[in-house]
Structure 1
Amino acid sequence: MEMIDILTNRRLFVFVCVCMVTLQVCASTGIDPTNKHAWSENAGWINFAPVGGGVSIHFDGSIGYLDGYAWGENIGWVKMGNGNEGPYTNSDTNDWGVNFDGSGSLFGYAWGESVGWIKFDPAYGGVVIDMNSGVFDGSAWSENIGWIHFHGALPSYDVRTIAFEKQPLGTPNWWLDHFKVTEEYDEGDHVPAWQEQVMDTNPRDPSSFLSIVKEVTKPWGHLFYFPSSAQRYYTLQYISDLTNEEWTDVPGQVDISGAGGEDVLLDTNEPPRQLHRIQVKISP
């Protein structure tokens, strides 16, 4: 499970690196070259990773879109968007394309010169991307060629994007593509991009990283303030001696869902002088 720890000794905080690995890997969000075909009874095979074309998937964590070209031997090129950066409004002929929501459900239109509009969220159909495996499932609809199926058993075929695969340090390809960084990219805050993905911070902004920004001592306890994400979970831990290396969770402050923005965790104990840290996880 991906996690990052932030450490403080009441007034001073330092970042604790999980590990140091030298890797520079560019992420791809295209289509798996071995799983690239959709099928239409009236148009035959449609290749989503053809030579000279190809479809890519772009995602920001909440909404995404497709761009590029698929190819059908019988129908020619099928374009996933009008050429502008998505998501697309699909409000007129100057802004159209295929989008998908945070659950992977596709909506909007592709276009082929020989087949016209292809709707990805038609009545009695629709296409969904599995956000874990990247496999497309379901059917799109064209008034001119009928159903286009993205997954079948006899013969076995499907379309699969590698956008949701992870790089060696655990960072999804789509996230690296969204920020246009590699896992080891550091914009100057000494926090590599792969750790910023776990923190849900911006690897392009030197001021955006997880840290304990303030501690307030009250008669009834100690409050630790930090910037949180509503998509992450936080645990407050303490230790009296760093040579011990065993941190203890503060009771009641384990896997707390972030509020988004400034957040706070609380230790109501009154032990001897000790260190605190905040651990962040993508899932509890």
Structure 2
Amino acid sequence: MKALIQSFTLVISLIFIASCGGKKGEDGPKTSTADSIATEQKVNIPDFNKYFEGSINNKYQITMSLTKTNNILSGNYAYASTGTPIKVSGTIDDKGTITLNEYTDAGMLIGTFHGRYQETGIVGDWSKANSSSSMPFYLTEKEKAISDASASVVETEFSNDDGSGTKKICLFNSFKTISTGYNNERNGKMYWTYELYQNKNGNYVKVQNNVLFNLEQKQLLKLINDRIKRDFNVYSTEPDTRDCFIGFGKVPTYKMNDLGIDFTEDEIQFHIEFGLPEACDAVGGTVVTFKISDIIKYLN
């Protein structure tokens, strides 16, 4: 009997040891395959043109307009306290990691956003250039209200070898217009040239007018031409000005790239010259003006 009990005890001991041995290596932290894949998983982020609101250090309220083209980011942001746009550009990788640098108008680096793009926005840290300290920031994607559609405008006087006059620089989303008016000493009128630029990879590149507008721009162009023809018909039939239009013929239908474009803070202006003699400068052209909010659906 004693031998039987000893044998039974030995069997139980062996079973217990085998059971413990079967769990060897299962102790300690476990890493799930799903977690590992999620860590390395690429994120498919389509190109976008988005508007964000948020803050830096939960103290400085900011807004940002940002465009993604492939892995390139460009746009501008502004502090709510000033509203002055600051251009930004950078990159986003296939995991949503963002590096976004901010620059002065002269191209000097003044700060950097490091963060991660998420479904609801962007979170990360912001730091000044050449600084080892940083502050957290967050940006939440928002639908930009139509009433918020506006441009920033700066006007300066100039005098150089080409003459004297006024230069107006307007920033709207990723675009910049430069309108230069030269004084004409003979008749006191100012003659204007218009240029349109788009921010690409942090640099403003000259583009044609149609780039400012989306595929619906034909509808907008019809509205512009209708107003030009209305003004032309008035000028060409008024007794005081109709002589200027003798032999002119019909007013042409203008293309978007035929027009001069600039902005005020809440308006966009389309300029056209009819090409009349200098004596007819008073009716030599016209300006078609819209509220930005009224044509926001046509703008890129």
Higher helix proportion (structure 1 or 2): 2
Normalised by the size of structure 2, how large is the TM-score? 0.23
Greater relative contact order (Cα 8 A, min sep 6): structure 1 or 2?
Answer: 1
TM-score by length of 1: 0.24
From the CA coordinates, give the structure whose radius of gyration is larger.
Answer: 2
